[in-house]
A and B are shown apart, each in its own frame.
Chain A
Amino acid sequence: MPHFVRLILIAAAWGLCILVLHEERHALTTNAPAYKSPILPLDAKGTPPSPFYKEEFINYAQHIPMAHVASLAELPDGTLAAVWYGGSYEYWPDVTIYFATQTGGIWSSERPIMTLQQVEHDLGRPLKCPGNAVLMANPDGSLRLLFITIAMGKWSGSQMNSCLSRDVGATWSPVERLTLSPLFNFSELVRNRPIELQKQARSDNDWCVPLYQEFIGKFPELLWLKEDHGTLLSTKSRVVGGCATLQPSLVPLDAKRGVMLLRDYTENKRIFISRTENAGISWSKPVPTNLPNPDAGISGIRLSDGRLLVAFNNSVVAREKLSLAVSHDEGKSWKILVMLDNDPDSYSSYPFILRTSDGMLHIAYTYTGNAIKLVSFNEAWLVEQEAKITTP
């Protein structure tokens, strides 16, 4: 190769490198994230001062054999939105993602928003079925849906997708695939509540989404999403590696500190906890808590007085005895408060906690396998439950 050709090619390499670096997508950074307003005032927007507790079903009809993995989001106008997937059974091609909203305390009838055929059409490739989905209510009123589709095999063969609705879920943008894993983009799953971040310069919406892999290892990760004038930019960071914990539930304590509650895949049969001091950039080694976990989903949240609340299955053998526990010391120790559900004929699992701007706490979960149940209560009810167990 002549010397001058080499020099021209080297110049081309650096020219291309500069063009690549100039690309907007490299503006995405996790250098200085901060959780947005993790602490809500106790009586925001007039929370009823007396204990309040309500149970209801989100999917009234329950006409399908299976409904699972519910997720909630509050729209800027206070409307509560829910998504879940349902069908004949997990992995079946008729699995569909359903959507419903609650206005004035009444849930709309469920509506299919994502079928296998639609995702296949948008992505231009054959797929096995859709699966877990979470909603993110953007401050501009739009709703972003993150959901997985299985390309082959079971959950380990799943890949992440996204779409956006600007009309409260009536219509959705074409599905786009997020490439998040190096080996055929396999095994990136979502399940728990995304956390809104403080807005960075030149961005529309910033989110931190708990993710997990369950392919060769089972471990938690964080997906960092930034929406910039309609373009979704993503990157991710590792919480811990290995093959022990999954389905993280991220609970911010303040703008920088947070804890992550983890489903246990080991023989410990305990909920694990990890901590961050820099808004999720680095995490401590997960340690077991005193709460049991039968290899089932959990969900945690911070209450207005700083206590932590977790919904979990109080069992080491089965997805039964769905319960609530609180921690007064940021997750070091936990006190079991109340059992929400214990149907001996079925199971109650995969809770998803959301705290709305009126101070109410909502827990959506899978009930008897084909129903999505919603429990709503206020913090006064929690205080009452705690008083019951501490007062003989």
Chain B
Amino acid sequence: MTKLSSVNQSKLPAILELRHITKTYGNNGNEFYALKDVNLKINQQDFVSITGPSGSGKSTLMHLVGLLDNPTSGEILLEGADISSLKEHELAQLRNQTLGFVFQQFNLLPKTSALENVILPLLYSDVPKTEWTNLAVTMLTKVGLADKLKNTPGQLSGGQQQRVAIARALVNNPKIILADEPTGNLDSKSGIEIMDIFRYLHDKEKRTIVFVTHDQDLARQAKKIIVIKDGQIQ
């Protein structure tokens, strides 16, 4: 792992680092800067929120952190290694091994049981098939859905669906859990439950969590708050 002269005071090494990242949309002469010279470090056991008004560039930043998009310029280092030269299938494999996604819309497969939804990332992993069901049941139990294994998303409440999504994000034992407005589609009670799960995962399981929200109160629940405005970190 590459050692970096860090402005960050954390003693733990960085998992993901963004260096001088710029992302523009549109063509020459008519460019729009979604991100401008952004530097960001996600260290082990971080609990980070990214917040800012809509259009500030927080979604773009999330996509870059999630290895779903390429920057226009700058470097993204995953555990010290530059990923900018990687091919699409290599990025897919990296996402599978290192990241767990939680989305605002849950994005569960319809008409498919909670168990099968949680197994989905394992389908694309190197985890032996014999362990799939056990792992998925363990994760669903952890989020309190041990009795809903066979339920399809249509038979679950919004909060329960998001918990299935969290179990799905955990099943590959990722290095970072990325959540994009995880409570945006939930009532406040369910939202609190979801945040409780994240806090538990950070406090008790020492997991690294990054979540994006436009909600200031929610953002304050993280240990570290990154405020982004007009494509730049404040």
Q: Do A and B come from one complex?
A: no
Interface residues, chain B, CB within 8 Å of chain A? Answer: none
